[in-house]
Amino acid sequence: MFNEKLLFKLNVLYQKLEEDILSSIGSPKDIELDSNIMRYKNIFHDLFPNLSFDEIRKLLLLLKLVSDRSKENLHRVEIVSSGIANMNLPVRETVGVIRQILFEASHYIFMTGYAISSYFHQLVDLLRHKGTQGVTIEIFIENNHNENLKHLLEHLNIENLKVYKYNNSSRYSALHAKTIVVDYRVAFITSANLSYNGMMNNIEIGALIEGKQVENINKIFEELKNRGFFESIN
pLDDT by 10s per residue, the chain, length 234: 557 777 887 787 777 777 777 766 766 666 665 566 666 677 777 778 888 878 877 887 888 787 777 766 667 899 999 988 777 888 999 999 999 999 999 999 999 988 777 777 788 889 999 999 999 999 998 876 556 666 666 666 788 999 898 987 666 788 999 999 999 999 999 999 888 888 888 999 999 999 888 999 999 999 999 999 999 887
Strand order from edge to edge, sheet including 108-113:
92-93, 76-82, 204-210, 186-190, 179-182, 108-113, 136-141, 161-166, 230-232
Helices (H), 45-196: 53-72, 94-104, 124-132, 146-155, 196
- pLDDT for 40 equals 67
What is the distance between the alpha carbons of residues 14 and 35, in angstroms, rounded to a whole number?
A: 21
pTM: 0.69
- pLDDT for 217 equals 96
Known catalytic residues are: 176, 178, 183
- pLDDT for 183 equals 95
In sequence order, the β-bridge partners of residue 204 are 82
Q: What DSSP designation does 194 have?
A: B
